[in-house]
Structure 1
Amino acid sequence: MGVMRTKSIEQSIAETGEPEFELRKNLSALDLTVFGIGVIIGAGIFTLTGRAAANYAGPSIALSFVLAAVCCGLAALCYAEFASTVPVSGSAYTFSYASLGELVAWIIGWDLLLELMLGASVVAQGWSQYATLFLEKIGIVVPESVAPGSAFDLPAFVLIVVLTALIAIGIKESLRVNLVLVAVKLFIVLFVIVAGIGFINTANYSPFIPPSAAGEQVSGITAPLIQVLFGLEPTTYGVLGIVSGASIVFFAYIGFDVVATTAEEAKNPQRDLPIGIIASLVICTVLYVATTLVITGMVKYDKIDPDAALAAAFESVGKPGYATLIAAGAVAGLMTVVMTLIIGATRVTFAMSRDWLLPRSLGRTNPRTGTPVRLTLIIGTVVALVASLTPIGKLEEMVNIGTLSAFALVSVAVPVLRRKRPDLKRAFTVPFSPVLPVVAALISVYLMLNLSGETWVRFLVWMAIGFVIYFLYGVKRSRMAVEERGEKVPAPTDA
């Protein structure tokens, strides 16, 4: 059966040496760690921390971040094992092709495109709001007709055009800019933590875990699926509030998996990829927990401004100038997130076109830049149009469901590949397999069930579109299908 075709690891690695599809090996462990921090620390630290503390867990939101980090850490271990064993572009898509078959690989690739392209669009809109706010603070006003929320969001469009051009020039050049922006972002996050410590009132930490209370009643398609399926009553605060908070702040960690999409461009993938994935996750967890402890120490949890927690916290202690600095940090911070997500989307689509599940001409790399320029321009154009023309605030949860489904499938794929290919040299292995990978998959599914029924319906529609494309195009034209039929592999010019 065609859809169950799996591609051997050796074949995947051999294809990376084909001249027309060859990516340059430019990235070190430091590049990959900075890349990971660049995408993880984004809107989460500037907005999500306060909202989750105010509405879900109070000061114990710090525990929610730790719990979410443990969940991500389990998935990260699975990604690290795969990325170091199969150092090929495409992340979860490539891993599942080798273990679960072509159809599952297509599903994951389609999921990742949803996560990365929609994620870049959503974050670009958030960047546009912060950029407009920052420009106003320094005396520059963006006309209302092209401001965020208008029919055409000009700042978001310009941002994506500039970043797409930079990514097309080359991955190393992109990451040099990324390094500078990440340094600015980390400086401002550390500044907030250090400056805020002096304004902490320890009385605000009491009670650290606020008593449980009934949550807001939501019914119908907008209610979390778990509530609909099991008739659970929504609650906030208490121990369940910490768990609910974890499912909200989990999304502040989304992005470490993007590090795995650049596997093929790492100089020493067996060593550098596990370091890049796990180091970026650990560093971000420490910064997140420190930031939440500062915010909930400066302002009583029930008085936190859920929309602009950090800026409002400093304004409440008579430091409005810090709010401008925080807006500047958000502008630098979100820029790196958008860039990293676009790079991830191009690398996943590149891997799919190299397998001919999408038109193979899309995946050609430019001999001068060593990057898939045509593909980068196509994806950048789509993201720019979606970000500037669509009110996609309601689609944010779609990013999360795409990511979590990929996490679940990658986690399951680790023990499957171990059973199928025990002979493979693994530079990094997940401890306590298959228990840890199964736990990682179950946690991902549980967090998916906390998303609304509306999100699930949209997700199923997106998947249905993916199935139509696969069965009309990919199943007959894929590289594996052509080889299975014993046909001559077309020359590069035949694409």
Structure 2
Amino acid sequence: MKIFRKPQLSAYLKLDHKMTRSLSSMDLLAMGVGAVIGTGIFILPGSVAATTAGPAVSISFLVAAFICILAGMCYAEFASTFPIAGSAYSYGSIIYGEGIGWLMGWALVLEYMLAVATVAAGWSSYFASFIKHFGISLPLALSGPFNPTKGTYFDLVAVVVILLLAFLLSQGLKSSVAINNLAVLIKVAIIVIFIVVGLHFIKPENYVPFMPYHFSGVIKGSTTVFFAFLGFDVVSASAAEVKNPQKNMQIGIIGTLLVAVVLYSGVSLVLTGMVNYTKLNLANPVAFALEYVHQDWLAELLSIGAMIGMATMMLTMIYSSSRLIYAMARDGLLPKVFGKLDQKYHSPQNALLVVTFIISCGAAFFSVDQLTNLVSFGTLFAFCLVSFGILKLRTYSLNTLDGFKVPGYPIVPIVSGLFCLFMITQLNHDVYLMAGIWLIIGIMLYLFYGYRHSELSN
């Protein structure tokens, strides 16, 4: 069937060669940490400890990180072997065929854009709380998504922050990466300060019992905190702009997960040592713990860290979304205008423009609280196919690039894919309906437009 026709790697390399290869391994690491470490680090350790795992929530993070590292290694092998734009979409097209690659890309569009819209709404709420300390407040009508019963019609702050980040990206990758690196450094420093300060207020009796919900609670907790690590895959979207992808991609992807697990586990251990886990089922457990031990100054600092964390996550996701749309348009599956590179920065400005518009509309008018699980579905769908795709990659006729190889082949890719399938089964049932509708829309779009306009048709 023609929907399984496959593009050649050489064709992708030829099309992407105009993109500037300027990213180092440290740039990739900062990009990954910026995407993974967000507000979740200030919320999940407390809520999961209180309801599911107890002080052993730190072990839940280790289990989840182990699963993500398996998938991360699969991504690293693909990214170093295929140093092209488009991430899982491009990998899937080459390995499985254009139709499957399109579905993987369509799922990632859902992940990236919806994730940014969700976080933008959260950033708006944090910002509103922050400026209240200075006696400033926005008009109610402009302070939230469209909800006339509550008097809100438009989330102005969410749109403004998205536009500012998109403008930063439009000025070239070099300047936006430098700012992102600085922001990630500040964010990590604030988290480390919490860990160091919190160590002085730990009470050993708070760790007893360490597993109040038994080991089954630890495993259940890992299925919840697993989603805190999602986002590392955005690193692979930058492969066409990396200086030495065969070496640097695995450093960026696996390094991101290692930094994340250290920070998440550190915060979990300190938090549950400062306050008994039964008191942590709150919207802001870390801030509560600091106020509990009379460290209000650090609680305010954490609010700034949370806003910086969300901003770096949005920056990375907007960047990845634009590269994904560029890759699909490059292949003719979306209008060609989105696959053009501008002459000054050699970046897909048209793709960035359409991504910014769609995300801004979502953040301005829609409440996306009910849709956050769709982000997880889109990610896990791609993770699963990428993991099993390693089995086909090893037999790929043009796999001559000497990049990273997943150890323990073929066991590790299979285990990774099965774990991702298991995680999909843990999502709420209503997610399957919404995800099915999204995939059906994607299939219709491909059949009626992409299939006919594909470069492979020529």
TM-score range with shorter-chain normalisation?
A: over 0.9
Deviation for aligned residue 1:8: 2.2
Question: What does residue 185 of structure 2 align with?
Answer: 183
Question: What does residue 491 of structure 1 align with?
Answer: none
The one-letter code matched in structure 2 to 1:376 is L
Deviation for aligned residue 1:306: 2.3
State yes or no: 1:465 paired with 2:441.
yes
Question: What does residue 102 of structure 1 align with?
Answer: 98
Whole-angstrom distance in 2 between the partners of 1:423 and 1:168 = 34
Deviation for aligned residue 1:181: 1.0
Of the three residues 110, 127, 130, the one matched with 1:131 is 127
Deviation for aligned residue 1:139: 3.4
State yes or no: 1:264 paired with 2:266.
no
Question: What does residue 475 of structure 1 align with?
Answer: 451
Per-residue CA distance 1:40-78 (angstroms, 9 max, x = gap): 100211222211111111111101100110010000000
SS at match of 2:232: coil
Question: What does residue 296 of structure 1 align with?
Answer: 272
Question: What does residue 140 of structure 1 align with?
Answer: 136
Question: What does residue 405 of structure 1 align with?
Answer: 381
Deviation for aligned residue 1:472: 0.3
Written as runs of structure 1 = structure 2, the 5 A alignment for 1:78-477 is: 78-148=74-144, 150-210=152-212, 237-421=213-397, 423-477=399-453
Deviation for aligned residue 1:274: 0.8
SS at match of 1:267: coil
Say if 1:133 and 1:327, in contact at 8 Å, map to a contact too: no
Per-residue CA distance 1:17-50 (angstroms, 9 max, x = gap): 3xxxx32111011111111111110021122221
Deviation for aligned residue 1:338: 0.6
Q: 1:332 to 1:312 in 2, by over 3 A?
A: same
SS at match of 1:262: helix
Unaligned segments of structure 2, at least 5 residues = 146-151
Say if 2:393 and 2:399, in contact at 8 Å, map to a contact too: no
Whole-angstrom distance in 2 between the partners of 1:148 and 1:188 = 28
Question: What does residue 70 of structure 1 align with?
Answer: 66
The one-letter code matched in structure 1 to 2:194 is V
Q: RMSD value over aligned CA atoms?
A: 1.2
Whole-angstrom distance in 1 between the partners of 2:157 and 2:44 = 22
Between the two proteins, what is the percent identity of the paired residues?
38
Deviation for aligned residue 1:251: 1.2
Q: Which moved more, 1:370-379 or 1:139-148?
A: 139-148
Q: 1:258 to 1:423 in 2, by over 3 A?
A: closer
SS at match of 2:395: helix
Size of the aligned set, in residue pairs, is 452
State yes or no: 1:34 paired with 2:30.
yes
Say if 1:355 and 1:478, in contact at 8 Å, map to a contact too: yes
Question: What does residue 225 of structure 1 align with?
Answer: none
Deviation for aligned residue 1:325: 0.8
Whole-angstrom distance in 1 between the partners of 2:454 and 2:65 = 37
Q: Which moved more, 1:343-352 or 1:165-174?
A: 165-174
Question: What does residue 487 of structure 1 align with?
Answer: none
Deviation for aligned residue 1:422: 7.3
Question: What does residue 9 of structure 1 align with?
Answer: 9
Say if 2:107 and 2:378, in contact at 8 Å, map to a contact too: yes
Of the three residues 39, 43, 47, the one matched with 1:43 is 39
Of the three residues 58, 61, 69, the one matched with 2:57 is 61
Say if 1:137 and 1:324, in contact at 8 Å, map to a contact too: no
Say if 1:110 and 1:466, in contact at 8 Å, map to a contact too: yes
Deviation for aligned residue 1:199: 0.8
Whole-angstrom distance in 1 between the partners of 2:272 and 2:208 = 10
SS at match of 2:154: coil
Whole-angstrom distance in 2 between the partners of 1:309 and 1:295 = 8
Question: What does residue 485 of structure 1 align with?
Answer: none
Whole-angstrom distance in 2 between the partners of 1:421 and 1:404 = 27
Say if 2:323 and 2:351, in contact at 8 Å, map to a contact too: no
Whole-angstrom distance in 1 between the partners of 2:346 and 2:134 = 39
Unaligned segments of structure 1, at least 5 residues = 211-236, 483-495
The one-letter code matched in structure 2 to 1:121 is A
Whole-angstrom distance in 2 between the partners of 1:420 and 1:30 = 30
SS at match of 1:10: helix
Whole-angstrom distance in 2 between the partners of 1:52 and 1:325 = 23
